[in-house]
Amino acid sequence: MQQAHLAKRADISTSTLSRILQGADPGLDASIRLAREVGADLIWLATGRGSPNAAASGYLSVPIYDVRLAAGVAAFADAAEVIGEMPFDRGLLRDIGRTTADGLAVFIAEGDSMHPKIADGARVLTDLKDVRLREGVFAFRTGDELRIKRLRRRLDGIEIISDNENYPPELVTGDAADDLAIIGKVLWTGTVV
């Protein structure tokens, strides 16, 4: 692909692309745009470590969204935007019942109500295709609030449970229970120690 054409498609200047091709640090924003455009692994493009193609090296890339899910205090978002990708080992995905990255998304948890299972700032792998309400940890929306909690269906409504015992369970009933929309089931979480 011609440099000018690639620069235009990736929405970066030709001079920036030229400097990157000569070995300059691409920076995160340009790396994300270029990785998306040419199908390269973001980590490799930004750091030079790993493999240029994550899928070929036994990894699948999952999009990271700028949405933060409250695991404690309220969090609000107008729209979800992809801000990067996170590689997942194919073996790990197989262990959690997935063979492709289709329908998977990574969000960032905020708050401590799901501690110790999900730490504040943890990345949370979520299956956007698994929206059937049953007992488990889910990302969900109530009104404008995006949350991540343990859900349990009850005869009188839906129980919202925090893993941190400092937060009492909540029971939503009637219209509030009908308005609860599941975003997806949480499959995995990882955090910086």
Distance CA 111, CA 72 (A): 5
- Same domain? 34 vs 100: no
Give me 124's structure tokens: 């949370």
- Same domain? 191 vs 137: yes
45 against 106, higher pLDDT: 106
Q: Which of 57, 80, 95 is the last residue of a domain?
A: 57
Average pLDDT, the chain: 83
Question: Is the full-model pTM beyond 0.95?
Answer: no
- Same domain? 76 vs 164: yes
- Same domain? 35 vs 91: no
Parent domain of 65: 59-193
The number of domains in the chain is 2
Q: What is the pLDDT of residues 132-181, one digit of tens each?
A: 999 999 999 888 788 999 999 999 999 999 999 999 999 999 999 999 99
- Same domain? 104 vs 151: yes
Distance CA 150, CA 185 (A): 10
- Same domain? 87 vs 32: no
Give the CATH number of the domain where residue 80 resides: 2.10.109.10
Distance CA 140, CA 151 (A): 10
Measure the CA angle with vertex 13, ends 12 and 15; round to 5°: 135
- Same domain? 23 vs 95: no
Give the CATH number of the domain where residue 38 resides: 1.10.260
- Same domain? 121 vs 155: yes
Q: What is the pLDDT of residues 60-92, one digit of tens each?
A: 888 888 776 665 544 434 456 778 888 888 888
Q: What is the pLDDT of residues 90-111, one digit of tens each?
A: 888 888 888 888 899 999 898 9
Q: Which of 31, 57, 83 is the last residue of a domain?
A: 57
